Amino acid sequence: MCLQMVFKEKPEPTGMGYKGFGVSAGSLYGEIQGRKKKRPTGKWIHADDFRDKRYKVDFGYFPYWHIFEYKRDAIGWMRWSDHNYTVKKVKYRGATVKGTQGACRKIIVAKEIFIIPDTKTED
């Protein structure tokens, strides 16, 4: 995912947002990079451990996790996915840049994420 615009303002170093994941057999996977590596929930994970080194870092592409500021934007983006997907709420830390993706969807790029596990509710 590339950023169309990078903001001058720096993002807060930590925060919350939304991330899209591919889903297979109940496990989470990367949408584009590292599709074969499961993404664990309930623990901090660093983007470098999942990045596909074949992708070059260039103008417009920033390595690390690309996190949507709003859930509706993550859902809108993931609708174009070529496989099953889900959107999860995540905590992030080590934010490096803030910008927009696609039709003005606000994105935070951060080094680490914590995928918040689903909670079971009783009736």
Predicted local confidence at residue 93, as pLDDT: 98
- DSSP codes joined into one string, 35-58: TTSB--SSSEEEGGGT--TTSPP-
φ, ψ of residue 87 to 5 degrees: the values are -115, 130
Domain ranges in the chain are: 5-115
Can you give the pLDDT of all 123 residues of the chain as single tens digits? Answer: 578 888 999 999 999 999 999 888 889 988 765 567 899 999 999 988 887 666 666 555 667 899 999 999 999 888 776 678 899 999 999 999 999 987 789 999 999 999 999 876 554
User: For residues 47 and 104, what is the distance between their CA atoms, to the nearest angstrom?
Assistant: 24
pTM check: above 0.75: yes
Predicted local confidence at residue 79, as pLDDT: 77
